[in-house]
Amino acid sequence: MKLIIFGPQGSGKGTQAEVLSAKLKVPHISSGDIFRNQIQSQTELGRLAKDYIDQGKLVPDDLTIKMIKDRLEQSDAGAGFILDGYPRTIAQAEALDRVVNIDQVLEVWISDEESLMRLGGRRSCPVDGTIYHLKFNPPKVQNQCDKCQATLIIRQDDTEPVINKRLAQYHQQTEPLKKYYQLQGKLMAIDGRPPIADVTTEIFNKLGII
Ligand code: AP5
Ligand code: MG
């Protein structure tokens, strides 16, 4: 299954994509995670993307489109994937349509107030990317990844002013994708407000996954 999951910051794209990826046995491809890995590895792409990400701006389309195209060409993505955080602009969606046929698009929606509240409590594993929340999904041992025991971090772009900029970008540049995928008959709206497991159940039900 070739899926896109999109929604505002903190809506649970990464959280739900991890579950879907394990269930469907297809890779979870997160544009944000790829950029963060590139920054950590100090590659040329990481260097170019860093300032945009730190300021809560979108990385330019040409860089992002090429990066995702290269990732989708890898053999593990042939049978399916969950795309998280891409596309974020109409130009990115059109570029994607030129290389693959997407089956379904999940739009997970929450309010801006909820986004701010959730991201304030997010902790992430810098090694395997597992996502936690201090209150809603805490690690078993405080500040330690359940899977690899690494010390959890707060993402650099999870400060209130940067989150507000990211949300503004979302409403301006990414929300028009709703209409784009509605016209293709692929959009499924998912209420992102309930607890994590309930959102997962709604996604599985809507996709017909048992
Ligand atoms: P990216 O990493 O994709 O960040 P984002 O879009 O801001 O989304 P987040 O990762 O913050 O939220 P999420 O929806 O994944 O929520 P999560 O599951 O973690 O992108 C980062 C940056 O990279 C961008 O700003 C941009 O600069 C650049 N970039 C990336 N892609 C790009 C592109 N295509 N084009 C250009 N630039 C690009 O959950 C959040 C928290 O809430 C967690 O703590 C979680 O435990 C908790 N939580 C999740 N679900 C629930 C629930 N149902 N109830 C309670 N808590 C919950
Ligand atoms: Mg994410």
Residue whose entry in the numeric block shows the structure tokens 């107030």: 113
Q: Is 166 a catalytic residue?
A: yes
Cα Rg of the chain, angstroms: 16
Q: Is 36 a catalytic residue?
A: no
Candidate of 4, 82, 113, 136 to mutate for ligand 1, largest count of ligand atoms within 8 Å of Cβ:
136
Segment 33-67, tens digit of pLDDT: 999 999 999 999 999 999 999 999 999 999 999 99
Tell me which of 3.30.365.10, 3.40.50.720, 3.40.50.300, 3.30.413.10 is the CATH number of domain 2-111+173-207.
3.40.50.300
Tokens of 176: 């028009």
Nearest CA to ligand 1 atom 29: 32
Segment 57-99, tens digit of pLDDT: 999 999 999 999 999 999 999 999 999 999 999 999 999 999 9
The pTM assigned to this predicted structure is 0.96
Q: Which atom of ligand 1 is nearest to the CA of 88?
A: 34
Phi, psi of 85, deg, nearest 5: 95, 0
185: alpha, beta or left? (left if phi > 0; alpha if psi -120 to 50): left
The domain ranges of the chain are 2-111+173-207
Phi, psi of 121, deg, nearest 5: -110, 10
C-alpha dist (Å) from residue 60 to 51, 183, 209: 11, 25, 35
